[in-house]
């Protein structure tokens, strides 16, 4: 596929992430930090996010199997999970984190478990979308994701 076409597709893909509420303006902050010195910053941070949070998800899954639930522990895990989700601009994931925390505070086990299933869904959807995005960006050539220090 011709490069210009690829870049246009990439731009549309990226725009859809914002339009459909998967990402918020914090993702733009990541893009702003990408430059010639850090040409793959966005992808690196997102990769780190998925690596770190997979561990957290495992911890939360295990914690949700306890009976009764340790809401304090769950809250602490979610604190960190929301922190990193917020930092990459994962808007829908962040919303589920907030919902989860509300159920934690209310001591609502059923709500926690239900919300966490939804959270994992959103998390997985975003992961697939971002992986496709970065793969296409690599194919389209290195200019795409570097927005800073261009004049």
Q: Which residues bind another protein (CB under 8 A)?
A: 4, 7-8, 10-11, 14, 18, 24-26, 28-33, 38, 41, 45, 48-49, 52, 76, 79-80, 82-84, 86-89, 98, 101, 143-148, 150-151
Cα(114)–Cα(120) distance, integer angstroms: 10
Q: At its nearest, how many Å lie between another protein and the CB of residue 130?
A: 14
Q: At its nearest, how many Å lie between another protein and the CB of residue 146?
A: 8
| Shorter beta-carbon distance to another protein: residue 59 or 80 | 80
Cα-to-chain-centroid distance, residue 92:
8
Question: Using an 8 Å Cβ cutoff, are 120 and 89 in contact?
Answer: no
Cα(100)–Cα(131) distance, integer angstroms: 26
Cα(19)–Cα(13) distance, integer angstroms: 10
The encoded tokens of residue 10 equal 């990439």
| Shorter beta-carbon distance to another protein: residue 69 or 140 | 140
Q: How far are the Cα atoms of 95, 103, 114 from residue 62, in angstroms, in the given order?
A: 22, 17, 15
Q: At its nearest, how many Å lie between another protein and the CB of residue 147?
A: 4
| Shorter beta-carbon distance to another protein: residue 55 or 66 | 55
| Shorter beta-carbon distance to another protein: residue 16 or 67 | 16
Q: At its nearest, how many Å lie between another protein and the CB of residue 118?
A: 18
């Amino acid at each position: 596929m011709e490069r210009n076409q690829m870049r246009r597709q990439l731009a549309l893909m990226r725009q859809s992430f914002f339009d459909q509420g998967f990402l918020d303006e914090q993702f733009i902050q990541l893009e702003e930090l990408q430059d010639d010195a850090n040409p793959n910053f966005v992808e690196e941070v997102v990769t780190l996010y998925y690596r770190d949070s997979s561990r957290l998800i495992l911890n939360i899954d295990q914690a949700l199997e306890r009976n009764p639930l340790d809401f304090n522990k769950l809250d602490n895990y979610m604190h960190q999970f929301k922190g990193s989700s917020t930092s990459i601009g994962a808007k829908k994931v962040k919303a589920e984190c907030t919902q989860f925390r509300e159920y934690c505070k209310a001591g609502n086990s059923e709500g926690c478990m239900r919300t966490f299933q939804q959270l994992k869904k959103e998390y997985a959807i975003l992961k697939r979308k971002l992986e496709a995005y970065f793969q296409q960006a690599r194919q389209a050539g290195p200019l795409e994701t570097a927005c800073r220090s261009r004049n």
